[in-house]
């Protein structure tokens, strides 16, 4: 039986927030836009994963087996601790509890078909377990969230290696923009986009997700099943 997901800190302690929705931004790194042969647009591309998409990345997570390639998309995740509704960027930082790493799992063939048909992406990005996520690091520990290295290795090979300074829309700005459309509540998670290096995962792949901010580094290990 699958365990119910709860937000945790890096000491393994449950945090006092419910598992909320996951609000995501697509196409927030130029190198990822290029690798998918897409184009940069002036308007932000927002979408939502339900809370049933959340699962712990450690020690393992499951991917769909009969839906075509399931791609990794490593992202800096932000845990919201206070309501945000139609705020400006200078109001955002006080409502952030901390940061973690998440995989925006994407069924790439399904997504491509949905795009061609002009349909929403939920079947490709919002399925159960589509957001494996690490424990959260309190914001007091992350000295430079907008200048943090984000690295994903798959079977000891670097697959994604980016830095949050390369985001097209900075963290607080994109969260403020999200709040114009969706009220963010305590326990909601914001995903901030993925750098280049997306690719298919397979059963038994061994993953390491790493974030480095200032002189501190955190790593989270996982196995695909």
pLDDT in tens, 151-183: 999 999 999 999 999 999 999 999 999 999 999
DSSP state of 219: E
Indicate if the pLDDT at residue 2 is higher than 60.
no
Q: State residue 207's pLDDT score.
A: 98
CA distance 176 to 211: 24
CA distance 102 to 209: 9
- The topology under which CATH files domain 22-146+163-200 is Fumarylacetoacetate hydrolase; domain 2 (3.90.850)
Indicate if the pLDDT at residue 221 is higher than 90.
yes
The ranges assigned to domains in the chain are 22-146+163-200
Q: State residue 121's pLDDT score.
A: 82
CA distance 163 to 182: 27
Which token pair is 73?
């998309």
Q: Round the average pLDDT of the chain to a whole number and report it.
A: 93
CB 33, CB 172: distance < 8 Å: no
Which token pair is 3?
């365990």
Q: How confident is the model at residue 1 (pLDDT cuts 50, 70, 90)?
A: very low
- CB proximity list for 113: less than 8 A, separation 6 or greater: none
CA distance 128 to 113: 20
**Range in 46-55, 67-76, 110-119, 164-173 the model is least confident about:** 110-119
Can you spell out the DSSP letters for 6-48?
Answer: --BBTTSPBPSS----EEEEES-BHHHHHHTT----SS-EEEE
- Cα 24-205-129 angle, rounded to 5 deg: 35
Query: What is the bridge-based pairing of β-strands 60-61 and 70-72?
Result: unpaired
Q: How confident is the model at residue 43 (pLDDT cuts 50, 70, 90)?
A: confident
Indicate if the pLDDT at residue 64 is higher than 60.
yes
Residue-wise pLDDT tens digits, 104-155? 999 999 988 988 888 888 899 999 999 999 999 999 999 899 999 999 999 9
Which of 82, 61, 101, 116 lies closest to 193 in space, CA to CA?
A: 101
Burial class of residue 24 (count of CB atoms within 10 Å of its CB; 0-12, 13-18, 19+): buried
């Amino acid at each position: 039986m699958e365990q119910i997901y709860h937000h945790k800190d890096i000491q393994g302690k449950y945090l006092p927030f419910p598992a909320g929705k996951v609000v995501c931004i697509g196409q927030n790194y130029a190198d990822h836009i290029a690798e998918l042969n897409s184009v940069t647009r002036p308007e932000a591309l927002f979408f939502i994963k339900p809370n049933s998409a959340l699962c712990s990345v450690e020690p393992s997570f499951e991917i769909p087996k009969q839906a075509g390639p399931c791609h990794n998309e490593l992202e800096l995740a932000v845990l919201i601790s206070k309501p945000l509704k139609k705020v400006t960027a200078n109001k955002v930082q006080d409502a952030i509890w901390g940061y973690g790493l998440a995989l925006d799992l994407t069924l790439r063939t399904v997504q491509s078909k949905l795009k061609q048909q002009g349909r929403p992406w939920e079947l490709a990005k919002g399925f159960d377990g589509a957001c494996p996520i690490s424990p959260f690091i309190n914001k007091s520990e992350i000295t430079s969230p907008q200048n943090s290295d984000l690295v994903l290795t798959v079977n000891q090979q670097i697959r994604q290696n980016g830095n949050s300074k390369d985001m097209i829309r900075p963290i607080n700005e994109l969260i403020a923009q999200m709040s114009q459309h969706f009220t963010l509540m305590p326990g909601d998670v914001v995903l901030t986009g993925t750098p280049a290096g997306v690719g298919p995962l397979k059963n038994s792949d061994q993953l390491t997700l790493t974030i480095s901010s200032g002189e501190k580094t955190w790593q989270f290990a996982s196995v695909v099943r």
